[in-house]
Amino acid sequence: MDRYQSRRKGTTTMKSTVDHPTAAKPFVANQERMKWHDGALWFVREKRDRQAHSIPEWEYLRELASQTKAHTQANLAEYLEAFERQATAAGAVVHWAADAEEHNAIVLGLLQKNNVQRVVKSKSMLTEECHLNPYLEAQGIEVVDTDLGERIIQLRDEPPSHIVLPAIHLKKGDVGETFHEHLGTEKGASDPKYLTEAARQHLRDRFLNAQAGITGVNFAIAETGGVTVCTNEGNADLGASLPPLHIACMGIEKLIPRQADLGIFLRLLARSATGQPITTYSSHFLGPREGGQLHIVLVDNGRSSIRDRDEFREALNCIRCGACMNTCPVYRRSGGHSYASVVPGPIGSVLSPAADTEQHKSLPFACSLCGSCTDVCPVKIPLHHQLLAWRQEIGREGLLPVSKRMPMKAAAALFARPRLFAVAGWFGRFALRVLPHALTHNRLNTWAVARELPIAPKKSFRSWYRDQDRPANSLPIVTPDPESSPTKNR
Amino acid sequence: MHIGLFVPCYVDQFYPDVAVATLELLESCGMQVEFPSAQTCCGQPMANTGCAEMAVPLAERFVEIFQPYDFVVCPSGSCTAMVVHHYDHLFSGEKRAAFEAVRDKTLELSQFLERYVPAEKLNFPSFPHRVGLHQSCHGLRELRIGACSERMVTGNDSVGELLERVPDLTRVTLKRADECCGFGGTFAVAEADVSVAMGLSRVADHAAADAEVIVAGDMSCLMHMQGLMRRDGSPLRVMHLAQLLCGRSIDINHDAKEQRR
């Protein structure tokens, strides 16, 4: 675990409490890069919009996907058992892991049993969640991430900043620098073609020499015991097909009932993730290849406890498309590392507090509650409502900082007394009018660091209304006058 | 129709003309409008900060205060959404029926105009300006008063349709039609850096579209953007939809003298 912590260059370490506003500060402050990041992700969001628009039944598909996932979760035990039966019948070996530790131990055991020293691994957020790489490396096993983005950040010793686009926080120049340092490419090179070719040559060598391939799983099918892995680079296929040993690691929420359901999810996944009609490679693995072994590790690691909670259950519908990150105006401007969490963005801010509420208590507040994530989600997770539910949970557990709780208590007390509210309002407006600007817009007033306060009017609406001499709360109901119109009135 | 005017607390204190304009607008459509002065705040700041229990007494008072009216109309999508969607968790037992009755008759201003005012009564004064419409998130994605770019459904567009009825008004086309401005209530202070960055890019979108004024159904979004624009000395102005429909001057929230009257 300690080695994973060392992967967090310039970001908060894993175990310390994440303070999103503080972690976001340097990213937002670099205006040029922040705007570029915002634009790059918005570009993906727009591509997604075009692809979603191209399917007339889009909203129907979302509903179907959501219901299919809800059904699967409701019958999860039965489907998991069916999956195990079918996968075993097809020749795979199924393993069960209650948590990250067990998962890592199972994987290590398999590698050691087969005398594996070199592993190629395609993208898997689950192995990231379990911190598998540092665990295996500590045992002297070489693990090479084969997804291009993942390889870049692995060389830089950084965690991914996005679940689909792990190196989206980096520019071409940054990649050029990294490759110059690690792969010996020309200094200052930033041509994507040149850099990709260098990565291809470097990875080819690793693929050919690997003794085992680890992949994630996008969908596991209870009916057949097959697993589906989606990539755009074909790296999972090489990793699973060249070495004799294939280990597929999956969270138990990846299950879908039938082969026929897969079409719904494959259509939604790539469109939502990158705005492609379908991922370049959607590979189906049913049992091991001839002469090889296929091991599937089913991991819980907190998923059952999310499943047990009514407010958060739907978060398990997530198919890890990343659309909520691309659309989130906070994520786009604060960067993925500011969440200091394996899964960043809206879905990460729901999942991370479930794993450790204290540590991730600032994440549900890293959200303006705009609701765009909820509408973009292909499986209809009510993300912004779940973030709001987390805020209440954090309040109930007494984890709200005093700086948040006290002002709210004071405001609530004031709002409960209309007269006092009116008086306080008058004083506030009076103070704003007479005090010098420098005093009302001081550094302690966070609002006013970059924003002017509104101009304080002499009269509140309630006082204006009182002066109109309108009888309060006792007006007779009269028939509307059809003659009056706004133009006539003015 | 007897309408209870529900005025957001910060509008009452800082933008009284928005409430006056709402009152005038509703009365000019022939409605009987009353402002029950016992109202203060709907409790949204507490609920959004994780202190929903503090909002309970405010929510109960709200229901009590607005019970007598045929409709409750509010010039804010956000405060309306609090009552319509987020009061739900705060009521149980015998108080629930009264809450549901009030909830079902609480509407955002443009929603009310669209549903309950005959089209022939919606005649607005001329507004010869270039207008950028800021679609406030809660009106859009909680109340569904407009179509959201994320969803592949043809939705209604209450605010857009009202603006179309205004003579001489020119709507500008924004690059990001329904992006959040970054206000988000206490988010604006708790995550000030990100909030400001969001606001600045929202303002920049309107400026790039050559708008003269940013119009919204929520004054809170406008307060945030106006704060940024004042600091930067931007010539862009902000106006609440109600003020525009009443034919107020484009300077109504911009000119300190006019605002302090």
The Cα of B157 is separated from the nearest Cα of chain A by a number of Å equal to: 17
Q: DSSP per residue over A197-251, as a string?
A: HHHHHHHHHHHHH-SEEEE--SEEETTTTEEEEEESSSHHHHHHHSSSEEEEEEE
User: Which residues share a beta bridge with A219?
Assistant: A228
The Cα of B97 is separated from the nearest Cα of chain A by a number of Å equal to: 22
Query: B124, A451: Cβ pair inside 8 Å?
Result: no
Query: B123, A481: Cβ pair inside 8 Å?
Result: no
CA atoms of B105 and A443, how far apart (whole Å)? 43
Residue A407 CB-density burial (10 A; 0-12 exposed, 13-18 middle, 19+ buried): middle
Minimal Cβ distance to A451: which of B140, B227, B259: B227
CA atoms of A280 and A297, how far apart (whole Å)? 25
Question: Residue A127: which residues within 8 A CB-CB, separation 6 or more?
Answer: A121, A133, A214, A216, A249
Q: DSSP per residue over A25-51, as a string?
A: HHHHHSHHHHHHHHHHHHHHHHHHHHH
Whether the Cβ atoms of residue A152 and residue A167 lie closer than 8 Å to each other? yes
Taking alpha carbons only, the member of A305, A390, A364 closest to residue A73 is A305
Residue A460's φ and ψ, nearest 5 degrees, are -80, 170
> What pLDDT score was predicted for residue B235?
95
Q: Which two tokens stand for residue B151?
A: 């969803």
- Using the Cβ of A411 and the Cβ atoms of chain B, whether some distance falls under 8 Å is answered with yes
CA atoms of B200 and B219, how far apart (whole Å)? 17
Question: Residue A141: which residues within 8 A CB-CB, separation 6 or more?
Answer: A108, A111, A116, A117, A118, A119
> What pLDDT score was predicted for residue A293?
98
CA atoms of B8 and B138, how far apart (whole Å)? 14
pTM for this predicted structure: 0.94
Question: Residue B252: which residues within 8 A CB-CB, separation 6 or more?
Answer: B17, B239, B243, B258, B259
B/e letters for B37-72, b = 16+ CB within 10 Å, e = fewer, are: bebbbbbbbbbbbbbbebbbebbbbbbebbeebebb
CA atoms of A319 and A7, how far apart (whole Å)? 26
Taking alpha carbons only, the member of A214, A218, A227, A219 closest to residue A91 is A227
CA atoms of B223 and B174, how far apart (whole Å)? 20
Per the model's pLDDT, the better-predicted residue between B93 and A365 turns out to be A365
Q: Give me the amino acid identity at B253.
A: N
User: Which residues share a beta bridge with B240?
Assistant: B216
The Cα of A217 is separated from the nearest Cα of chain B by a number of Å equal to: 27
Write out the E strands in A86-132.
93-97, 118-121
CA atoms of B20 and B256, how far apart (whole Å)? 17
Which residue is it, tokens 């620098």? A177
* pLDDT tops 90 at residue B258: no
> What pLDDT score was predicted for residue A483?
36
Axis-axis angle for helices A58-74, A76-89 (nearest 10):
90
Compute CA distances A227 → A110, A241, A287, A289, B69, whole Å.
Answer: 19, 14, 9, 13, 59
Query: A481, B30: Cβ pair inside 8 Å?
Result: yes
Q: Which two tokens stand for residue A42?
A: 């918005």
* pLDDT tops 50 at residue B50: yes
CA atoms of B29 and A481, how far apart (whole Å)? 8
Please report the residues numbered 186 through 205 in chain B whose beta carbons come closer than 8 angstroms to any beta carbon of chain A.
186-199, 201
SS3 call for A285: strand
CA atoms of A422 and A30, how far apart (whole Å)? 42
Please report the residues numbered 213 through 232 in chain B whose beta carbons come closer than 8 angstroms to any beta carbon of chain A.
223-224, 226-228, 230-231
* Nearest chain B alpha carbon to A30: B197
Q: Give me the amino acid identity at A219.
A: F
The tens place of each residue's pLDDT in chain A, 490 residues long, gives 333 344 444 343 456 788 999 999 999 999 999 999 999 999 999 999 999 999 999 999 999 999 999 999 999 999 999 999 999 999 999 999 999 999 999 999 999 999 999 999 999 999 999 999 999 999 999 999 999 999 999 999 999 999 999 999 999 999 999 999 999 999 999 999 999 999 999 999 999 999 999 999 999 999 999 999 999 999 999 999 999 999 999 999 999 999 999 999 999 999 999 999 999 999 999 999 999 999 999 999 999 999 999 999 999 999 999 999 999 999 999 999 999 999 999 999 999 999 999 999 999 999 999 999 999 999 999 999 999 999 999 999 999 999 999 999 999 999 999 999 999 999 999 999 999 999 999 988 999 999 999 999 999 999 999 999 776 554 433 333 333 333 333 3
Residue B146's φ and ψ, nearest 5 degrees, are -150, 170
- Going by their DSSP bridges, the two strands A281-285 and A226-231 should be labelled as antiparallel
Whether the Cβ atoms of residue A148 and residue A196 lie closer than 8 Å to each other? yes
Query: B196, A451: Cβ pair inside 8 Å?
Result: yes
CA dihedral A42, A48, A54, A58 (to 10 degrees): -120
> What pLDDT score was predicted for residue A443?
87
Plot region of A275 (φ>0 → left; ψ -120 to 50 → alpha; else → beta): left
The Cα of B176 is separated from the nearest Cα of chain A by a number of Å equal to: 9
SS3 call for B34: strand
Count of pairs with CB atoms under 8 A, one residue in A, one in B: 277
> What pLDDT score was predicted for residue B256?
77
> What pLDDT score was predicted for residue A471?
60
Q: Give me the amino acid identity at A269.
A: L
Which residue is it, tokens 């949204």? B44
CA atoms of A411 and B58, how far apart (whole Å)? 11
Walk me through the domains of chain B, giving residue ranges and CATH numbers: 2-116 (no CATH), 124-246 (3.40.50)
> What pLDDT score was predicted for residue A241?
93
> What pLDDT score was predicted for residue A490?
31
* Per-residue H/E/C for B125-156: CCCCCEEEEECCHHHHHHCCCCCCCCCCCCCC
User: Which residues share a beta bridge with A246?
Assistant: A213, A294
Whether the Cβ atoms of residue B87 and residue B59 lie closer than 8 Å to each other? yes
Please report the residues numbered 317 through 336 in chain A whose beta carbons come closer than 8 angstroms to any beta carbon of chain B.
327, 329-330, 333-334
Q: Where are the alpha helices (DSSP H) in B29-135?
A: 44-48, 52-66, 77-81, 95-104, 109-116
CA atoms of B172 and A325, how far apart (whole Å)? 28
> What pLDDT score was predicted for residue A472?
59
> What pLDDT score was predicted for residue A13?
44
CA atoms of A148 and A460, how far apart (whole Å)? 59
- Using the Cβ of B67 and the Cβ atoms of chain A, whether some distance falls under 8 Å is answered with no
CA atoms of A210 and A122, how far apart (whole Å)? 12
- Using the Cβ of B126 and the Cβ atoms of chain A, whether some distance falls under 8 Å is answered with no
Axis-axis angle for helices A192-209, A148-156 (nearest 10):
90
Taking alpha carbons only, the member of A262, A297, A8 closest to residue A157 is A8
Whether the Cβ atoms of residue A219 and residue A265 lie closer than 8 Å to each other? yes
